[in-house]
Structure 1
Amino acid sequence: MRFLATFVSCLVLLLTLLATPSRAEMVLHRGNGSEPETLDPHKSTGEGESWIEMDLFEGLVTADALGRVVPGAALNWTISEDRLTYTFHLRPDGKWSDGTRVTAGDFVFSWRRLVSPATRSRYAFFLWPVKNAEAVSKGQMPPTAMGVEAVDELTLRVTLEAPTAYFISSLQHHSTFAVSQANLKRHGDDFVKPGKLVSNGAFMLAEAVPQSHVKLVRNPHFHAAAEVALDAVYFYPTENREVELKRFRAGELDVTYDLPDGQIAWVRQNMPADLRLAPFFSSYWFNINLRNEPWKSNPDLRTALSLAIDRQLIVDKITQAGEIPAYAITPPGTDNYVAPLPEWARWTQAQRDAKARELLAKAGYGPGGRVLEVEILFNTSENHRKIAIAIDSMWRQKLGVRAKLVNQEWKVLLQSRAEGKFQDLVRGGWIGDYNDAYSFLSLFMSDVQGQNHSGYRNPDYDRLIRAAASEVDATARRQLMQRAEAMLLSDHPVIPIYTHVTTHMVSARVSGWQDNIRNLHLSRYLSVVR
């Protein structure tokens, strides 16, 4: 009888399982801007790549659904009384996607790789607060001199040069992520390819087809795998925003990377439920190449071009998503900080135009002087092209300045901009990697290679920013950065245009999307119902 009862129970269970339909695979389709430059977290620079990398990898800290800093690969950490030593305790269940353990040694290896001159990372400066890291990145000391050590397999000790208020927040950035030391040594530069890449985030790399898509699949070894709803995520590079919107309307995309400026009014009217507009910790500007004349020795000329741009007109008539005209580098919403606006920010546009003509004439250009011709370089995008056209029109009408518009594909522009290989102006800007003014102002230090796109060099500015980096008093630190930004704005190495808002289309099928000022939306927090 016992055998019969067991047999009947097993038969019932089998019939139940057969009668229960298998769960359909849950897949999210995301628009992702430009073609990824690389998926090597120590070498990539674009926002689209970082979105993929934040799904693939997990740093010591990560972001929650609201973009706030929370523990990641490190379960917790302690900070010494003098604020110079950070001890991170890694998760005992932290694993790479091949099932091997994530160790403190992996972070030591990765951080040394980031700052090594051989890596040529444009983000090496992110770890300059670590003892000797700056000297290592400048080739003055070996990577082993860096103040990072594995106390044991799961304990990472980091020693800083000086107290650094933003240090923990900065570790959310993809450049500080660890890669598997064993895997990189096994595959060399090919370690980022599908079938070879080993990662410790919520997803693994399954496919990377140029000009088509990047496919990620759920990582079963991720410490919070049980909380991840998605089975797969597709990222589609789509530089043409009009095409991306059409794909969304056709149901091919669940989330767009951006929206074409010219379609925002239509979307507001016809698809308001899917439109997501939110403040963004990001500024849009143009870098002026101070390596070249006439810009190098003529701040009046740089200022004239900036004054003649009607920023309010650009955000009202072109971008139309609620952007805020910018007259400074750091955006509104920066913690413990208010940007020092130049005097002319409070003028009318007519007053700015009059001053621009005066400065242009002073520099020897305009009516009765030389004709100024300016090349504006931007990455291929209808949004960027429209802004460049508007600026060209303003300069021609007000100053008689002629602009030549040149566009490059994203990867090419990144290289041109980083190496200073542009004639006059290049489309630039920045997305704050952590909510602190230092994230923006540190870009203009004279020795930040690859990110100081204007080639700005001012020793007094450098001293103020370095002092702010190690200042522990919040008020004194804010004042140092405000003095530095005022100096930067007076020197005019860049032309601020506006503060961004995020513009996404998010399907009603998607759950878990939370608007936030950092515009961070890790796929591990999302789900989708077909």
Structure 2
Amino acid sequence: MALGVSLLAGTTALVAPSVASAEMVFNRGNGSEPGTLDPQISEGVPSAHILRDLFEGLTAEHTDGSIIPGQAESWTISEDGKTFVFKIRENAKWSNGDPVTAHDFVYAWQRAVAPATGTAYSFLLYPLENAQAISSGEEKDLSKLGVKATDDRTLEVKLSGPAPYFLGMITHSVAYPVHKATVEAHGANWTRPDNMVSNGAFKLQEWTPQSRIVAVKSDTYWNKDTVKLDKVVYYPTESQTTALKRYRAGELDWTYEVPNDQIKWIKENLPDEFHVSNYLGTYYYGFNMTKPPFNDPKLRKAFSLAIDREILTSKIVGAGEVPAYAFVVPGVTAYDPVYADFKAKDQAARNAEALKLYEEAGYSKDNPIEIELRYNTSDNHKKIAIAVQNMWKKTLGAKVNLVNEEWKVYLETRKLKEATQAFRAGWIGDYNDPNTFLELWLSDSGLNDTGFDSPEFDSLMNQAKLEQDADKRKKLLMQAETIFLEANAVAPIYHYVTKRMVKPYVKGWENNVMDHIRSQYITIEQ
């Protein structure tokens, strides 16, 4: 860095400017306040972004989203695709200096499937032998899980069937190792900054709820020499309008999203700082199938038909989102799209069918249903909810009361299936395979907040899990999605794009379909 020139009392002195010793800090807008930073328990994208910085699994991702070695320096795969042997790096360390061992992964994965842990994402580990039986309580012996340490640096994983997505799946936080002594010493408080021991590129320094979370570069991370940032500050901001104001004021280098009603202005005034890319995700409304009124399949379909997806994507969200008539995002690897049976109809025909089904369910414009539509606090979610509220009123005559809740409360409400009727949700693929979208709807999935329960669907999914022929596996998954779409447990609305503001001086990142942007690759060039 160049020296500065200072003129003092007629003399010229060379002095180093203060910026020379300044920390390289990345100020990152991060959406909602995380409910937890426990890798096995966390839910939602905001916590996932932070956990990817604090922890690292056996595999990791490059800037383009491709799978690369993480805590494992190498691995071998058996000919039948069912046995993986990972070799842990000799220089893999925890933030307290302890070595990361194969035993740490065994402990974390057993913890993830143990019913007592309460992990919503345990189903991600179902490819492992006995994982589903342990998670359901059918098998009590955790040692029967298909993972074992044959020595400190060797981890053997046995799957019940070939899983072509496995190396990508274990980049998810549920598969991160955790430091056993720390978890057992501090219990639920082990994720506090003064307690947490992690193994990623950064370590937790501060967590001030609803204000900021701070992570600093870890000096024990095996690849620390490639990490240029000194600090990452994550700002939880549920209001996209507020986040944009903070960005324009220079308080944020990067936003989680942008307000939909400001996109036109942004394109006209800050086009070089506005980044939009494809995203492997589906925005949808779910229906609680476990109790009236949406235990009625005719009513669920009526409400789905009455949503004008083209209007929503062109007038309300407007950043290139694609209307959704499938749950699995079209274009996913090794899959042919499956669509709802009304995709080819125009909206007038859909509305006519919706009204007919609504009346068959016992309601009419003279005898309207009254329901709640629940969403988590967000400017964008509110605008979509208001638009859909008006569509349901205009087409069906339904009375729709909007209810918004803070993220953590909203997740818990959905999970209980007591107060929810219709609710907003979104699902972002954890890896590029149709299974990541469909396994969500297994009857015993911890994230199946609709209560969808189909033995035929479960059977097809289990057959696909064991099927070694790629074409037969694809057809099984397509049959499963057809069953799910016909049930109308959810109304897919659109397939996501990422849309955010990024300062020109933020370097080292690139768009990828997973939107997994790890801070370890980022530099701030000012």
> What band does the TM-score fall into relative to the shorter chain?
over 0.9
State the Cα deviation string for residues 341-398 of structure 1 (Å, max 9, x = none). 1231011111111111111122221145x31112100001111111111111011111
Contact 1:164 1:471 in 2 (8 A): no
Note the C-alpha offset of 1:189. 2.0
CA pair 17-177 structure 1, distance change in 2 beyond 3 A: farther
State how 1:46-57 maps to structure 2 within 5 Å.
Answer: 46-57=44-55
The separation in 2 between residues aligned to 1:285 and 1:389, in whole angstroms, is: 15
How does the TM-score come out when normalised to structure 1?
0.94
SS of the residue aligned with 1:194? coil
User: Retained in 1: the 8 A contact 2:40–2:112?
Assistant: yes
> How much is the aligned-residue C-alpha RMSD, in angstroms?
1.6
**Aligned CA distance change for structure 1 residues 364 and 109 (closer, same or farther; 3 Å):** same
CA distance in 1, matches of 2:235, 2:46: 10
Structure 1 residues 71 and 359: alpha-carbon distance in aligned structure 2, compared to 1, 3 A threshold: same
CA contact (8 A) 1:292 1:423 kept: no
Query: How far did 1:512 drift?
Result: 1.1
Q: Counterpart amino acid of 2:421?
A: D
What aligned pairs does 1:396-475 form with structure 2 within 5 A after superposition? 396-448=393-445, 450-475=446-471
Q: Is contact 1:378-1:406 (8 Å) kept?
A: yes
* Identical positions, percent: 43
Match of 2:169 in 1: 170
Question: Which runs of at least 4 in structure 1 moved beyond 3 Å after TM superposition?
Answer: 16-23
**SS state of the match for residue 115, structure 2?**
coil
Question: Which secondary structure does the structure 1 equivalent of 2:271 belong to?
Answer: coil
Matching residue's letter, 1:470: L
CA contact (8 A) 2:136 2:444 kept: no
Q: Would you say the 8 A contact 2:161–2:468 is kept in 1?
A: no
In the TM superposition, residue 17 of structure 1 has moved relative to its aligned partner by: 13
TM-score (norm 2): 0.95
Separation in 1, partners of 2:501, 2:453: 41
Q: Is the 8 A contact 1:165 1:472 kept in 2?
A: no
Deviation for aligned residue 1:185: 2.3
Amino acid at match of 1:200: N
1:274 is matched with which residue? 273
**Residue of structure 1 equivalent to 2:472:** 476
Where does residue 9 of structure 1 map in the other structure? none
Residues 1:461 and 1:236: Cα distance change in structure 2 (over 3 Å): same
Q: 1:489-504 residue pairs with structure 2 within 5 A?
A: 489-504=485-500
2:229 is the alignment partner of 1:219 = no
Q: Which residue of 2 aligns with 1:84?
A: 82
The yes-or-no answer on 1:138 pairing with 2:131 is no
State whether structure 2 residue 382 is matched by structure 1 residue 385: yes
Structure 2 partner of 1:300: 298
Residues 154-169 of structure 1 aligned to structure 2 (within 5 Å): 154-169=153-168
3-state DSSP of counterpart to 1:427: strand
User: Which region of structure 1 is more displaced relative to structure 2, 177-186 or 244-253?
Assistant: 177-186
Change (3 A) 1:152 1:218: same
The alpha-carbon distance between structure 1 residues 21 and 325, as it changes in their structure 2 partners (threshold 3 A), is closer
Question: Which sits farther off after the overlay, 465-474 or 424-433?
Answer: 465-474
CA distance 1:21–1:345, shift in 2 (3 Å): closer
Q: Is 2:280–2:513's contact at 8 Å kept on the other side of the alignment?
A: yes
The residue type equivalent to 1:436 in the other structure is D
In 2, Cα distance between equivalents of 1:237 and 1:31: 6
Match of 1:203 in 2: 202
Whole-Å separation in 2 of the counterparts to 1:244 and 1:57: 26
Does 1:506 find its partner at 2:505?
Answer: no
Change (3 A) 1:19 1:291: closer
Return the offset for 1:249: 0.3
Matches within 5 A, 1:1-400: 23-140=21-138, 141-296=140-295, 298-367=296-365, 370-400=367-397
* Counterpart-to-counterpart distance in 1, 2:439 and 2:165: 12
